[in-house]
Amino acid sequence: MVNHEVNPSILIPYLPHGVELDFFNNKTYISLVGFMFTKTHLFGMPIPFFGSFEEINLRFYVKRVDNGRLKKGVVFINETVPFKIVAFLANRLYGEHYTAIPTKSCLDLSDHKIVNYEWNFKGRWNSIRVKTDKKKLSIEPFSFEEYIFERYFGYTKLSSFTTQEYAIHHPQWFTNKLLAASIDCDYGMMYGDAFSCLNNQPTSSIMMAEGSPVSVSWKRVNF
């Protein structure tokens, strides 16, 4: 999780109807995220040949009050995967913003955790590489880690006046202490000129989570 502070005005065009930006200490953030899908199922059935793959996404943080209940969620600006069929199904079934381009990853758990994600866009390889301790750390209440990781709803902008909400289910994740990191991403080329300001902007923080089984509710709500 590569986190950047960002001007709220950059996110407003991507903000779905009916939700609002979620601030942490009066600041808004955007995250470049690399992770692995493994043993993926659709409608309870495994996906032959396409069940394990990298995803790299760019997301920001929102909230919504629904009948007095505060729902903290994320909005994806783009989600990158290596398989065209996965991108097609996600875009067609869910109205998401998936792109299919070459990706690769490397995981080394020998002494520490060394994780590397790479993706090729228009002939340029971008990458996230981190080295962490193996010890599991709990997420502290009211921390920046809680702000970033404790998100159990996703919101998709279907139109200017229609938003899709879906629930995300997973236990609270553990994190690992960061020891080193290297980020090489052309945000402007990958995500549009509005995000080129991130190319030369220092990161606010870099985190790694252990991950877990995750499920996404098929039933979705439009409002």
pLDDT in tens, 47-88: 666 678 999 999 999 999 999 999 999 999 999 999 998 899
Q: Any residues with CB less than 8 A from the CB of 200 and at least 6 apart, and which?
A: none
Residue with the two structure tokens 């903000």: 15
Residues 62 and 19: beta-carbon distance below 8 Å: yes
d(CA 215, CA 143): 25
Q: How far, CA to CA in Å, does 96 sit from each of 79, 139, 163, 221?
A: 8, 29, 11, 14
Query: Residues in the chain with pLDDT < 50?
Result: none
d(CA 137, CA 177): 8
pLDDT for the residue 43:
63
Phi, psi of 168, rounded to the nearest 5 degrees: -115, 130
Torsion of CA 118, 1, 89, 160, to 10 degrees: -130
pLDDT for the residue 168:
95
pLDDT for the residue 99:
96
Q: Any residues with CB less than 8 A from the CB of 199 and at least 6 apart, and which?
A: 185, 186, 187, 188
pLDDT for the residue 146:
97
Q: How far, CA to CA in Å, does 86 sit from each of 49, 79, 83?
A: 11, 11, 5
What number of other Cβ atoms are within 10 A of residue 211's Cβ? 12
In terms of residue numbers, what domain contains 10?
A: 2-222
- Total domain count for the chain? 1
Q: What CATH number is attached to the domain comprising 164?
A: 2.40.400.10
